[in-house]
Structure 1
């Protein structure tokens, strides 16, 4: 196949990627059709080099006709310009950065638009998802679990939505951990707009990815497709709050179908936001009421040896809250005294104490005191 413009216009890598993009822009070529074409012809260049009769053995007559027209350069120009900018990437099935975990699912996306640190695509990850209309406690739980699991060198994967998703990303960032946001729009659009600042923080310290072309707006049908990537990237999926009919339920179902672990946090029997989690537990999800439940199920104990310390007051290995546990001794102690002994801020200590309570290592007592559980 010959491109009508000189290959000198773009570097060799961008020319190759343009074929992947152009093929995906053809109406009717979804991830499964794309992968079937790749399986038959080997790569996009060979697909475009095939004749109409050869293509019709794999795709419909209409799609075959579109492919034989060749590359639509006008449609490519904006995307290629975006890819030429720093920190913007297109990761194809042929790239070494393509996440190995996604190769295990039945319909992996042929490629991913990415913005940020590509190395995170192959870091052990866990998904944390839940309601957009989460309770205050639900968001606190999501943030605390994300922060705690970051201490075990897990990348936190979620969908950048309001509520639980945003809290999960914030928890990872708060722990100086890694996080990936999988979105259902083009990467030139931040949705929801309220998370613009959060999205910028994730790009600086993590990664945002999408299988959707630039300019793709938020559409309801995009999010189930997005959810299979969230679950596919992860060792397991933690549902914090969800009603019975929700995207989180879809993500959990996809996790189970993909052979991943499913975790759910129970709540009040009177809360609609607990009903989805209770249903998942009835269906076999692991009930989670402390961080240790996930740590044990995923066998994360040994992973802490490689975790960098985020505080400067202890040389102990493992999550930073463990050093706080050492300082507490075995007698009841007030928050103020822990702050004084550790040299940390009230906010930092409060966050660590919440994590320790989730782990079942600390109990809160009357009068604002805390005690280590022997």
Structure 2
């Protein structure tokens, strides 16, 4: 049995989420897990149904994936593949498998994610296309979600200048969503890649899209929010970026524009205000170099990006004072634990105590 088959068989085990797979992989490789006895697997927390699935000789998922790989433009990367993008591997619960149509090598190039509202204004759409083109012209890959609105225009801006772009889907790669962007998806394959953690035959589902946002930010050195409403899904991507230690950039919008309330709110919470492409380029650096190398030792004189402590808590502390009780409720943790974490964050210079609660310092 080859390594890829082992990974696919493990990933196909029913009701085995990414976190549980991560725990299993901390104990053994996929092939070692498959070779374990039923009693040993029960000891690792697997049910009898899951064990039977893992021990099944003829894996349906493997047979379907093997046929899918007959196309030379189709690729599957596992966490142990040396082409698996370095930055994505660092996030909590990285996808065990990445399904790719196009060039898998572009996933390791320096990237900036460009996201925003599906129902954007004409100005927002024009700015997304403009920034997509300018980022590509400065040798950055633009990553987005192929959605209507800002995402699609950012991809289009990159293609306007023959740049490289990546679209992360909330569906399987054989079920491109939205259907309106099937032609755009084909162009992206020629100039970059379509990516999904889902089986190629998976249909689009509402629950898949928030999960894919962590991949968009995880692949990227930073996330640029062009235009986002107060409850936009783009804010989920921005939150993921903060938790992953990535930079968040936002274009300011009119206070009268409801589609800009979310992006303006990000700026109030500490996101970089962007007026020109230089505001983004000036902040890219260490993470972009890490993306190229796949190695911890990136280059002489460049240190690895430090891992942020308590990233979920830190992501919820902004430039306006937030009280401890609110943070405890958001993070679903006891107040005394939040207090201990805040104290450690304060000692490390990530937050400061102010009247009314805590605010983030510039270092955070």
Name the TM-score, length of structure 2 as normaliser: 0.76
User: Counterpart in 2 of 1:102?
Assistant: 88
For 2:117 and 2:172, locate their aligned partners in 1 and report how far apart those are by CA, in whole Å. 22
**How far 1:167 moved relative to its partner?**
0.7
What does 1:55-70 align with in structure 2 at a 5 Å threshold? 55-62=41-48, 64-70=50-56
User: Counterpart in 1 of 2:171?
Assistant: 185
Unmatched runs of 5 consecutive residues or more in structure 2: 290-364
User: Counterpart in 2 of 1:146?
Assistant: 132
What is the root-mean-square deviation of aligned Cα atoms in Å?
Answer: 1.8
What does 1:147-162 align with in structure 2 at a 5 Å threshold? 147-162=133-148
Report whether the alignment pairs 1:284 with 2:270. Answer: yes
Unmatched runs of 5 consecutive residues or more in structure 1: 4-14, 304-374
Indicate conservation of the 8 Å contact 2:9/2:54, yes or no. Answer: no
For 1:238 and 1:74, locate their aligned partners in 2 and report how far apart those are by CA, in whole Å. 40
| Partner SS state of residue 27, structure 2 | helix
Shift in CA distance, 63/243, structure 1 to aligned 2, threshold 3 Å? farther
CA deviation map 1:296-338 (0-9, x unaligned): 22259x99xxxxxxxxxxxxxxxxxxxxxxxxxxxxxxxxxxx
Report whether the alignment pairs 1:248 with 2:234. Answer: yes
User: Counterpart in 2 of 1:323?
Assistant: none
User: Counterpart in 2 of 1:17?
Assistant: 4
**How far 1:116 moved relative to its partner?**
0.5
For 2:20 and 2:52, locate their aligned partners in 1 and report how far apart those are by CA, in whole Å. 14
For 2:26 and 2:50, locate their aligned partners in 1 and report how far apart those are by CA, in whole Å. 16
Indicate conservation of the 8 Å contact 1:55/1:64, yes or no. Answer: no
CA deviation map 1:76-112 (0-9, x unaligned): 3222101121110000111111000012111111110
**How far 1:243 moved relative to its partner?**
1.0
Equivalent residues, number = 288
Name the TM-score, length of structure 1 as normaliser: 0.74
Indicate conservation of the 8 Å contact 1:158/1:230, yes or no. Answer: yes
For 2:44 and 2:232, locate their aligned partners in 1 and report how far apart those are by CA, in whole Å. 35
Indicate conservation of the 8 Å contact 1:134/1:164, yes or no. Answer: yes
For 2:253 and 2:57, locate their aligned partners in 1 and report how far apart those are by CA, in whole Å. 53
Report whether the alignment pairs 1:225 with 2:244. Answer: no
Shift in CA distance, 162/71, structure 1 to aligned 2, threshold 3 Å? farther
1:171 pairs with one of 135, 138, 157: 157
**How far 1:63 moved relative to its partner?**
5.4
**How far 1:38 moved relative to its partner?**
1.7
**How far 1:120 moved relative to its partner?**
0.5
User: Counterpart in 2 of 1:295?
Assistant: 281
